[in-house]
Amino acid sequence: MRDELTRDRLRAVMHEIARTASRGATYRVYFVGGGTAVYAGWRPSSIDVDLFSEEESVFRDIQGIKERLNVNIEFARPEQFVPALRGSASRHVFIETVGSVSYYHYDPYAQVLSKIVRGFERDLDDARQFARSGMVDTKKLRALVQAIPESAYARYPNLSQRAVLQAVDEFIADAG
Amino acid sequence: MIDKGLDDLAAGQITPECLVVSLAAPRLRREGVPLPQACIPDAEPRLYRLLEQVHGELAHARYLAHLRQAASFADACHLARTDGGRHAR
């Protein structure tokens, strides 16, 4: 039976990734979804931690880490589910550096958009926390989503620009 | 899966399907799926634990598959609603 991911276990994951990453390089690893929520203290635990890095060698022992710490790990980033937002790369939020690995929360605006679009109970809870915490300004979110070119939706046949904007507007109206 | 979840929810049975419906409730409502007002609380962890009892090491993979299936169903509902049902199957 796997343990739920608590903040302490998340920190253990961070240290294990840093300890086992290939030597001779520095890395960036991004938290997405439950990892950000648990690290920020918005909820006590998550079923898993979603991670992303452009350098796969940082995850070379991910199976071993999963087994040793008894947690679920998934590789994911918001752009798997929703179009990229302009300027996303400049909005990742630095957390801390452990060894050769620097950890970030993935762009909060991209995270919130993917959560609003999927729209499950916990997604919306997390999205509201992003707004309440000040990590996401809802007016800026609206502007960023509005600026997504229609051509970007070609890679997401399950979405439409109109539906995404409508979901964002409903979220903002509910969030007050 | 969603039909069974709705039936189980109405019958008061705790099954993976009704937990999926519960965790996806806001999105399903957004797409016009009629749901009872009260769904099952803490559906995500309960779904995972239930799957773990049945599938052991594969629980996480099955859990993610359930979430994808629910999202896909909601996407299909959206398309059916906004496209006059031309894509609905």
- Averaged pLDDT for residues B7-31: 95
Comparing alpha-carbon positions, the chain A residue that sits nearest to B55 is A1
Pick among B57, B78, B86 to test the A interface (most A CBs inside 10 A): B78
**Residue ranges of chain A whose pLDDT lies below 70:** none
- Averaged pLDDT for residues B79-89: 61
Query: What is the tens place of the pLDDT at every residue in B45-55?
Result: 999 999 999 99
Closest residue to B52, CB basis, from A1, A48, A167: A1
B86 pLDDT higher than 90: no
What is the structure's pLDDT at B62?
95
Q: Are A28 and A107 in contact (CB under 8 A)?
A: no
Closest residue to B45, CB basis, from A47, A158, A170: A47
What is the structure's pLDDT at B83?
66
- Averaged pLDDT for residues B4-31: 94
Is B70 within 8 Å of chain A by CB? yes
Token pair 């809870």 is found at A125
**DSSP element (H, E) containing A79:** none
- Averaged pLDDT for residues B2-25: 94
What is the structure's pLDDT at B81?
79
B87 pLDDT higher than 70: no
What is the structure's pLDDT at B17?
96
In this complex, do B22 and A170 lie within 8 Å of one another by their Cβ atoms? no
**Which contacts (CB < 8 Å, 24+ apart) does range A26-29 have?**
A26/A100, A26/A101, A26/A102, A27/A53, A27/A55, A27/A57, A27/A58, A27/A100, A27/A101, A27/A102, A28/A53, A28/A54, A28/A55, A28/A92, A28/A101, A28/A102, A28/A103, A28/A104, A29/A53, A29/A58, A29/A101, A29/A102, A29/A103, A29/A104
In this complex, do B44 and A122 lie within 8 Å of one another by their Cβ atoms? yes
Global ipTM: 0.85
Is B30 within 8 Å of chain A by CB? yes
B85 pLDDT higher than 50: no
What is the structure's pLDDT at A2?
82
Is B46 within 8 Å of chain A by CB? no
Rounded to two decimals, what is the model's pTM? 0.92
What is the structure's pLDDT at B84?
55
**Which residues from A are below 8 Å from B86, CB to CB?**
none
Is A159 within 8 Å of chain B by CB? yes
In this complex, do A47 and B60 lie within 8 Å of one another by their Cβ atoms? yes
Is B73 within 8 Å of chain A by CB? no
Count of A-B CB contacts under 8 Å: 52
